[in-house]
Structure 1
Amino acid sequence: MMSTLAEEKIPYIESAGLPHTQELHGVSPDNVLELVAGATRPLILRDYCSHFPAVVAGKESPQATADYLLQQYSGNPIIGCYGSAETGGRVFYNDDMSGFNFDSRRVPLRELLDDILASAETAEMPMRYMPSSEVSYWFPQFAADNDAGVSSVSPIGSLWLGNKVRVAAHYDFPNNLACNIAGKRRFTLLPPEQIANLYPGPLEFAPGGQEVSLVDFYSPDFEAFPRFRDALQQAQIAELNAGDALYIPGMWWHHVESLGVLNVLYTHWWRDSEAYMGRPTNALLHAILGLRNLPSHQRKAWKALFDYYIFDAEAGAAEHIPQSARGVLQQPLGLEAAMQLRAKLQNDLKR
């Protein structure tokens, strides 16, 4: 049954009374990595980036925000995403999940910004946004002028902008320091172990490339998704104004609402392991290929192997083996050994 809150046009998560994410004050780009190191739960960093020139423009007006972005813009066409007012700003699939509820095309940044600003005057606002776009290519001076203090971890810095758009709950593998540049933003955050209660959609076909929850957080259908009630017991809310930042540990699910006329988010993604190790998603897909069709008792046997060699590796799965003979069990796995293992896997997959 659909929530009656939907009929009243009140977003469900706005009325659910969820607890708020822990806040830290006095965090700056000079000490941020020291303070978030090892954090396993999200943290709001109040006024963290309020001194950024981009935030100063963002607090002035939506037009000033647009002007600042255009000054930083390289001129390369950006990806503009366009959906009708009927979407309610929800970035999602179409009705039969054969595609998405928006169209995308390459356009000049000014064209999308003008459209967003003009849409603020309409009675029913259409969906308009630019998905995460690397600043090094589209806004090459932005990182230097708005230094978040995390360059030592070699993050991927990206800008996202749009009008009143909401992105379905999803997770990202890397850690994320998300600086709210303009507008107001609300995150609903859930820990990784809630995946079964969030009803994720297809792995290989999703609006942002990463699988998303099929639950509409504004109007949850508890008949179709009954375990979502359990997920909400572990959820928390983070509300950001311009100049605030949010640290999201890797793998945490987050539903994101943009609540202003023009909203801009500056994300910094970095991983806690070397890039040559590859994406863990590759291991998941390989496991689906190799393990999922096995009988239950065999899957349980392989689960024991994964626990021993991977998930409980700190217990010392190779300590009884001479160092010189540990091979791929050496900890940590070095570059040369990782490259050899990657080559072996690539050859094995060709068989």
Structure 2
Amino acid sequence: MAGRPASVEELAAAQLGGADGLRQRAVACRPFVVRGLCGGWPVVQAGAAGAIDYLARMDGGQEAEYFSAEAALGGRYHYGEGPGGFNFARTVMPVGEALARMAANAAGAGETGYLGSLPADRHFPGFAEENGCDLLPETVRPRVWIGNAGTVACHYDMFDNLACVAAGRRRFTLYPPEAIRDLYVGPIDHTLSGQPISLAAGAAQADTLYPRFAAARDKAMTVELVPGDALYLPKLWWHQVEALEPINLLVNYWWDGFSAGPDSPYAAMMLAMIAIAERPEPERAAWRAWFDHYVFRPDGHPLAHMPAEKHGILGPLGQGNYVRIRTLVMRMLRGA
């Protein structure tokens, strides 16, 4: 019998230890909740009833993509028979108009809607200054997500994520990165809104359509956040997000806390796909051994048997080796 899923660690805001505490905990690549972290924000104090009005007062007059679906779908945005193969519509409109429509939806109109990933500085000037977060560098800027009750399909982010609930309640169902093979992930180039999603998570017939999903379900963790709470999500953790109230507002911050430069691990994976994925299985196994040795390093540094001064470009990236390796790679890509 499978053991009970692990629970998400919970802290009070005073226990986190500020920016240093966040970084130290982030090293473990495990999610955790900070209760009451943003409870003092004015937007949180405005309450669910005042969230729309609060944002409307800061409306920068910009347009954004508004997602909408029939109320009968219960806010479950997914693939379907509609435009582009989805069960919802996308309409570019002024943010103020979209806010008004969501307010009407909350009062019983025939649809649900949401605005997602709006850069606060562009769409709601002054929001970040009134509702600040001192855990992250000033260059990490907030994004705003507001909508009616609904479910964001299970997906992952390529950045570390601090998600702060400002209005309504949110239920997060989390799956670790290693659950990927059992989540039955959809296409990476035809997505609902950027990232690939799990077809199995949330499916009514998951057990019959996606039999391996049972293994992923055994690893799932669920946590519910109320206004003022925040969730730290490491990159590549899968998460389904349910907005539980007629009006829900989330503010999130994306950043890469451990980047050595501008190149992303995802780009490296995509390049590896075209270079390795369709080679014979024995050759793929050989390359897997090399990736383990030089990249993932389960047995430590590949030149641990030699003095540090002899490590060459395998020395610390911060000592000029990032640029040296990148230069070599760019020459290879150019065929030089």
Alignment partner, residue 278 of structure 1: 263
Q: 1:276 Cα deviation (Å)?
A: 3.1
Are positions 1:337 and 2:324 aligned together?
yes
Question: Cα distance 1:218–1:203, how it changes in 2: closer, same or farther (>3 A)?
Answer: closer
Alignment of structure 1 residues 107-146 onto 2, 5 Å: 107-122=93-108, 126-146=111-131
1:72 partner letter? M
Are positions 1:51 and 2:37 aligned together?
no
Q: 1:86 Cα deviation (Å)?
A: 4.2
Unaligned runs of 5+ in 1: 1-16
Q: 1:87 Cα deviation (Å)?
A: 3.2
Verify the 8 A CA contact 2:74 2:112 in the aligned structure 1: yes
Alignment of structure 1 residues 2-151 onto 2, 5 Å: 20-27=7-14, 31-35=18-22, 36-57=25-46, 59=47, 61-62=48-49, 64-95=50-81, 99-122=85-108, 126-151=111-136
CA–CA distance in structure 2, aligned partners of residues 89 and 293 of structure 1: 39
Matched residue SS, 2:27: coil
Matched residue SS, 2:208: coil
CA–CA distance in structure 2, aligned partners of residues 28 and 106 of structure 1: 42
Q: 1:151 Cα deviation (Å)?
A: 3.2
Verify the 8 A CA contact 1:29 1:150 in the aligned structure 2: no
Verify the 8 A CA contact 1:318 1:326 in the aligned structure 2: no
Matched residue SS, 2:209: coil
After superposition, give the CA deviation of every residue in 1:242-262 in whole Å (9 maximum; x if it has no partner). 111111112111000001111
CA–CA distance in structure 2, aligned partners of residues 150 and 71 of structure 1: 26
Matched residue SS, 1:272: coil
Matched residue SS, 1:127: strand
Alignment of structure 1 residues 160-171 onto 2, 5 Å: 160-171=145-156
Alignment partner, residue 263 of structure 1: 248
Q: 1:30 Cα deviation (Å)?
A: 6.7
CA–CA distance in structure 2, aligned partners of residues 171 and 42 of structure 1: 13
After superposition, give the CA deviation of every residue in 1:306-351 in whole Å (9 maximum; x if it has no partner). 0011011771123437747723x33225453355245335424xx9
Identity, in percent, stands at 33
Q: CA RMSD in A?
A: 2.6
Matched residue SS, 2:108: coil
Structure 1 range deviating more: 67-76 or 293-302: 67-76
Q: 1:156 Cα deviation (Å)?
A: 4.2
Q: 1:81 Cα deviation (Å)?
A: 1.1
CA–CA distance in structure 2, aligned partners of residues 27 and 176 of structure 1: 20
After superposition, give the CA deviation of every residue in 1:108-144 in whole Å (9 maximum; x if it has no partner). 1221111111112337x52301121111221231112
CA–CA distance in structure 2, aligned partners of residues 342 and 66 of structure 1: 49
CA–CA distance in structure 1, aligned partners of residues 292 and 165 of structure 2: 39
CA–CA distance in structure 1, aligned partners of residues 90 and 193 of structure 2: 12
CA–CA distance in structure 2, aligned partners of residues 314 and 341 of structure 1: 26
Q: 1:223 Cα deviation (Å)?
A: 0.7
Alignment of structure 1 residues 226-237 onto 2, 5 Å: 226-237=211-222
Matched residue SS, 2:190: coil
Structure 1 range deviating more: 217-226 or 172-181: 217-226
1:155 partner letter? V
The number of residues matched between the two structures is 328
Question: Cα distance 1:288–1:83, how it changes in 2: closer, same or farther (>3 A)?
Answer: same
Question: Cα distance 1:278–1:24, how it changes in 2: closer, same or farther (>3 A)?
Answer: same
1:237 partner letter? T
2:14 partner letter? V
CA–CA distance in structure 1, aligned partners of residues 66 and 244 of structure 2: 19
Matched residue SS, 2:239: strand
Question: Cα distance 1:306–1:261, how it changes in 2: closer, same or farther (>3 A)?
Answer: same
CA–CA distance in structure 2, aligned partners of residues 227 and 215 of structure 1: 9
Q: TM-score, normalised by structure 1?
A: 0.85
Verify the 8 A CA contact 1:44 1:246 in the aligned structure 2: yes
Unaligned runs of 5+ in 2: none
Alignment partner, residue 238 of structure 2: 253
Are positions 1:300 and 2:285 aligned together?
yes
CA–CA distance in structure 1, aligned partners of residues 299 and 323 of structure 2: 22
